[in-house]
Amino acid sequence: MAATELTSGEYIQHHLTNLTFGKIDGVWRMAHSAEEAKEMGFWALHVDSLAWSIGLAAIFLFFFIRAARKATAGVPSGLVNFVEWITEFIDESVRGSFTARNPLIAPLAMTVFAWVFLMNLMDLIPVDLIPYILGDHGLGLFHFMKVVPSTDPNVTFGMAFGVFLLILFYSIKVKGVGGFVGELTGMPFQTSNIALKPIFFVINLVLEGVNLIAKPISLSLRLFGNMYAGEMIFILIALMYSGGIVLGVFGGALQLVWAIFHILVITLQAFIFMTLTIVYLDMAHSEHH
């Protein structure tokens, strides 16, 4: 295990560093250290986050498309029954939180929930397993490898910004440009006094602007923070295996308990991300008079 060759701090840093591809000294290449990854700057790519998130999306599509093709009018079983159960769960969530009519919302909620859940589920894989197989002690392919995309703020912010663009799109589509701007500048403070209107305009714009911008930030940071903390606990527990038999046995028991509890965390975070997406889009469809 890497912990036998590295100090505790180096071991933690190694597991928290993404496989990064970027430009250093005019050359595009993989980073071989955390310092090089940082030096690559804004335009660097986290290859592991991209690969795992796209791969998990492909797995989701494969099984759900397969279930759709196998669906019949008879009694469902196996994969079809599982997919129908998830579909009914998503449908009930959308009906309970979304008051307008939009055929995009239910498929979007399904995609968000399943994708985020699968990314979170990777946190239950032992932290050293895949890095060991693909890394220096195994196939020697990659020096760094983070397998939980939702512990990367680039991924969580990317999904949140996608939702944010939909919020802006439907806000303008449903309310019009004037209605959307009026909503940002006409609430919560209103007055019939012409002299006070410019002052209230600025105050309302600041308050509603902060409220609008807070939506993608809350979506992304909530998911990232919870999953990052969970991953950090798994890494700290893994360090215990290098402390002898007694500490290793205790670490194994602790890891099992945390993994069982973490099943609730990864499911809850996927559900919260989905629910907030639905609620925010419902707000975008609602007209205020």
Phi then psi dihedrals of residue 22, to 5 deg: -165, -170
Q: Which is the catalytic residue, given 33, 102, 154, 222? A: 222
What pLDDT, on a 0 to 100 scale, did the predictor assign at position 4?
A: 46
Alpha helices in 78-141 (DSSP H): 78-97, 105-121, 129-134
Of 137, 163, 197, nearest to 6 by C-alpha is: 137
Task: Confirm whether pTM is higher than 0.85.
Answer: yes
Report yes or no: 92 and 275 within 8 Å, Cβ to Cβ: no
Question: Is 226 marked active-site?
Answer: yes
pLDDT at 94: 93
By the 8 A CB rule, do 277 and 223 touch? no
Task: Answer yes or no: are the C-beta atoms of 208 and 182 closer than 8 Å.
Answer: no
Both tokens assigned to 219: 């979506």
Indicate the DSSP class of residue 27. E
> Is the bond leading into 188 cis (omega within 30 degrees of zero)?
yes
> Cβ distance 56 to 147 under 8 Å?
no
Q: Is 93 a catalytic residue?
A: no
Q: Select which of 8, 211, 218, 286 is catalytic.
A: 218
Q: Check 220, 226, 242, 286 and give the catalytic one.
A: 226
Instruction: Give the C-alpha separation, 47 to 213, whole Å.
Output: 28
Q: Provide the pLDDT for residue 151.
A: 95
| Cα–Cα nearest to 115, from 79, 46, 78, 162 | 162
Q: How far apart are CA 156 and CA 270, in angstroms?
A: 11
Q: Which amino acid is at 41?
A: G
Over its length of 289 residues, how does the chain's per-residue pLDDT go in tens digits? 444 467 888 888 888 889 999 988 888 999 888 888 888 888 899 999 999 999 999 999 999 898 888 877 676 677 888 888 898 999 999 998 898 889 999 999 999 999 999 999 999 998 888 888 887 666 777 888 899 999 999 999 999 999 999 999 999 999 888 888 888 887 777 777 787 778 888 888 898 889 999 999 999 999 999 999 999 999 999 888 887 888 888 888 999 999 999 999 999 999 999 999 999 999 998 876 4
Sheet of strand 20-24: strand arrangement: 27-30, 20-24, 45-46
28, 21 Cβ separation under 8 angstroms:
yes
| 283 neighbors 137 (Cβ within 8 angstroms) | no
